[in-house]
Structure 1
Amino acid sequence: MYTRPVNRSIIDELSEHVTLRMSSYLEQAHDGKWIEHKSHSDYDLWFITAGSVKITIHGMEHIAAPGDVVFFYPDMPYTASATGELCQFIYMHFDFSISEQRRILEQFQLSGIVPGKRICEETALFISSYQRLKHGSVASGSPLYLKATLLLVISKILELHGQGLYNGEFLKDGQRNKTEGNLGVLQGVFQYVDANLHRPIRVHELASIAGVSEKYFISLFKKTLGITPGQYMNQIKMNRARDYLYEKKYTIQQIAGFLGYPDPFTFSKAFKKVYHVPPSKFE
């Protein structure tokens, strides 16, 4: 199987299947004697607010300064310590899933120290939201708002990675955790689907693109993305349908043809199942 570079746009395409769950969060301050040897079962972000933190992973030392964001993958052993008299940070443990795939972010090289100058606006919103929640009443602090700002931070890290402006340094390619499935193997499949939405696509075609048997492809796809190939193709068609409708340049019959539906009725039925309104009333 040939593995292509992973394109982060798949998370945008499947954003409606994304689930973000915050498990715990707290602000911590440590003196110069602090040292910690740990790993966590979920994703972990540290927002450095004062002092500097030295993080050692696989014998390599990394320094996180105020404003930086530290991104740990699940089950990643590390040693952390203060570099001066004091360090302070807010940590956030969370799960990020696409449908049933809880380790999707590990398909990207994100684990490392995100420079504060690259993510300062998003970090400021998160820290402000955390402080409001910690010190205020229900009226001034909201877990939902904190979750929204966390998603903004994660989205920004993915954006920086996609633009080539950030690449995590904690794990090199040979050390990366192996999740079930491999998103890189499916890059050609995603491109093929996008180029052939105007006609019916058979699963055996996609298996051939990935270079595996049809039976293995179905299993690989589900393990990698948490959804079936059929669910994926339907979601992509609905994404494109929504975009076409927003353009207000095409008739429903034309859009049905663009997306490989035999007639406007079949398209409208599929569209309504996802968006709960017919395409003629979509705004």
Structure 2
Amino acid sequence: MPYITDTKLNKGDLNIYQWGTEKCQARHHYGPAVRDHYLIHYIMEGSGKFEVEGRSYTLKKGQGFLICPGVITYYQASFDTPWHYSWVGFQGKMATKYLSLAGLDQKNPIFLYNKDSYIRDCLDKMNSISQFKPYSELKVTGLLYLFLYKLIENNSSNNVIEPQNRKELYVQKAVEFIEKNYSRKITISYLAKYIGINRKYLYALFKEFLNTSPKQFLLQYRMDKACELMEHTSLSIGDISRSVGYEDPLLFSKMFKNIKGMSPSNYRNKLNS
């Protein structure tokens, strides 16, 4: 039985649309039809076929298929061993990216996961949660993140990243870390350790791809964020300093002037003049 959520609330990075499970009768089918969200089916038992854009796939236990928004699809349980599948539908700002990391898109909609019961357990837990319980959607969304994490991990273990792509991935991960943690006390040594490379190599990669050092990138990012916060007149310079990772307002003012050419107070006055 499917559970369907209120799509008007789906404005975040990843939002549950529906989830459910079904033991299908022989030749039970759905479609041809389109969806307005992503929908993943995972086959618990049995077999069936999935058709999309003129391609037909015969699938069995341990495999799954992705339905993309706006794409016509058709799927049908087999006659001899009709499938039992579970599904989860979702959307959100990060949905496409997460699926891409899992190696899934409109042209590559099939995956295999049969190494353990992790995927199945996630879906079973989803289907044990009633939509009528308080905050059930929050719990199911947490399970969805774990589900997609495992698909991404599974895809990463099956693909060898080319050296150039690996370099870009290191830089991307470093930038993402800075964007999420600029307000904390982070060091470049810690950043390099988090990425899994040494500090000198991280420096070389930033120079190659961004034409700046990791330290300078972090400093510039913090000061740009400080400029955004200057628009909030209720925040003091000290408040802004702490919000971008500086406990010492004097040090913050010095760094701000080095980057922006004026003190934080002068910048704010100019902004409000």
Give the structure-2-normalised TM-score: 0.53
Q: Is the 8 A contact 2:41 2:87 kept in 1?
A: yes
Find 1:117's aligned residue among 114, 119, 125. Answer: 114
Q: Is the 8 A contact 1:43 1:93 kept in 2?
A: yes
Q: Give a deviation string over 1:96-115, Cα, whole Å, max 9, x none.
A: 314xxx64457564142221
Q: Is the 8 A contact 1:53 1:82 kept in 2?
A: yes
Higher Cα Rg: structure 1 or 2? 2
Name the counterpart of 2:70.
Answer: 75
Alignment of 1:180-199 (within 5 A): 191=168, 194=171
Distance 1:278 1:106, change over 3 A: closer
Q: Is the 8 A contact 1:73 1:106 kept in 2?
A: no
Would you say 1:235 and 2:183 are equivalent positions?
no
Partners of 2:242 and 2:152 in 1: how far apart? 27
Name the counterpart of 1:157.
Answer: 151
Find 2:216's aligned residue among 230, 251, 259. Answer: 259
Q: Is the 8 A contact 2:241 2:247 kept in 1?
A: no
Name the counterpart of 2:14.
Answer: 20
Q: Is the 8 A contact 2:46 2:84 kept in 1?
A: yes
**Root-mean-square deviation (Å):** 4.9
Q: Is the 8 A contact 2:226 2:240 kept in 1?
A: yes
Would you say 1:30 and 2:27 are equivalent positions?
no
Name the counterpart of 1:130.
Answer: 126
Distance 1:113 1:278, change over 3 A: same
Higher relative contact order (CA 8 A, sep 6+): 1
**1:193 offset after TM fit, Å?**
11
Q: Give a deviation string over 1:57-83, Cα, whole Å, max 9, x none.
A: 233321232232322222222221111
**1:133 offset after TM fit, Å?**
0.6
Q: Give a deviation string over 1:259-283, Cα, whole Å, max 9, x none.
A: 34779x95995898699474559xx
**1:34 offset after TM fit, Å?**
1.4
Q: Give a deviation string over 1:148-190, Cα, whole Å, max 9, x none.
A: 1211221222333344449xxxxxxxxxxxxxxxxxxxx99x9
> What letter corresponds to residue 22 of structure 1 in structure 2?
I
Name the counterpart of 2:87.
Answer: 91
Uncovered stretches (5+) of structure 2, i.e. residues with no partner: 1-10, 194-198, 200-212, 230-238, 249-273
Distance 1:280 1:92, change over 3 A: same
Alignment of 1:208-247 (within 5 A): 235=179, 238=182, 242=186, 244=188, 246=190
Q: SS at the partner of 1:41? A: coil
Partners of 1:273 and 1:160 in 2: how far apart? 41
Q: SS at the partner of 1:144? A: helix
Q: Is the 8 A contact 1:129 1:145 kept in 2?
A: no
Distance 1:236 1:27, change over 3 A: closer
Find 2:35's aligned residue among 28, 35, 40. Answer: 40
> What letter corresponds to residue 28 of structure 1 in structure 2?
E
Partners of 1:194 and 1:261 in 2: how far apart? 13
Q: SS at the partner of 2:14? A: strand
> What letter corresponds to residue 115 of structure 1 in structure 2?
L
Uncovered stretches (5+) of structure 1, i.e. residues with no partner: 1-16, 167-186, 198-230, 251-255
Q: SS at the partner of 1:94? A: strand
Partners of 1:81 and 1:153 in 2: how far apart? 24
Would you say 1:147 and 2:141 are equivalent positions?
yes
Q: SS at the partner of 1:158? A: helix
Partners of 1:43 and 1:162 in 2: how far apart? 21
Distance 1:25 1:259, change over 3 A: same
Partners of 1:241 and 1:147 in 2: how far apart? 30
